[in-house]
Amino acid sequence: MKLKMHRYEEIWLVCGISLIVVFMLITGYQTFALDMGPPSHMETIDPQKVDETAPFDKPGVYKIGEDEYEVVMSLESFAFTPADIEIPAGSTVHFILTSKDVTHGFEVAGTNVNAMVMPGYIQKITQKFSKAGEYLIVCNEYCGAGHQYMSTIIKVV
């Protein structure tokens, strides 16, 4: 397969492709060496038995280490359980999430916390909250008539 192109086009493509390769190298390194990849938890759960299945039978905020917390949360149209969370500044928070009904999005506005939460799947995402403040958590996947009410607060003190 011979494709004759002007030297300038070759130069451009080499540069363009290299740019994309650099993007992939940076994010690939972060993902596979630094564990910074997108939320991709594989565990499943019976979507009709969430309230009876651990850990969602006891949703809440749990301290698991010096500056480390687990937030076990279930989502449903149109609420987060637990709501109005409070954690100390400087904590690393592991969110453990599932949906009791339809697909929701879990987003902490202004942060990198952004994960899809499907019924039948347990999703996990971790974030260190260094700065104090009142962060807004919203559902960012349309889930019904009250979607615009589906929010809660995470207060970092």
Instruction: Enumerate residues 81-120 that contact other proteins by CB under 8 A.
Output: 101-103, 105, 107-120
Residues in Cβ contact with 148 at an 8 Å cutoff, skipping those fewer than 6 apart: none
134 is a contact residue toward other proteins (CB under 8 A): yes
Q: What is the 3-state secondary structure (H, E, C) of 80-118?
A: EECCCEEECCCEEEEEEEEECCCCEEEEECCCCCEEEEC
Enclosing H/E stretch for 64: strand 60-65
- Please confirm whether the linkage preceding 78 is cis (ω < 30° from 0): yes
Please, what is the minimum distance in Å from the beta carbon of residue 58 to other proteins? 20
Which of 60, 90, 128, 157 binds other proteins (CB under 8 A)? It is 128
Binders of other proteins in range 9-48 (CB under 8 A) = 9, 11-13, 15-17, 19-20, 23-24, 26-28, 30-32, 36-42, 44-48
121 is a contact residue toward other proteins (CB under 8 A): yes
Return the range that interacts with other proteins (CB under 8 A); candidates 56-64, 67-75, 86-94, 134-142.
134-142
Is 95:104 a contact under the CB 8 Å cutoff?
no
Residues in Cβ contact with 41 at an 8 Å cutoff, skipping those fewer than 6 apart: 121, 122, 123, 124
Which of 81, 89, 90, 138 binds other proteins (CB under 8 A)? It is 138
- Which residue, 69 or 113, has its beta carbon nearer to other proteins? 113
The footprint of other proteins on this chain (CB under 8 A) covers a number of residues equal to: 77
Cross-strand pairs, 152: 137
Which of 74, 147, 154, 156 binds other proteins (CB under 8 A)? It is 147
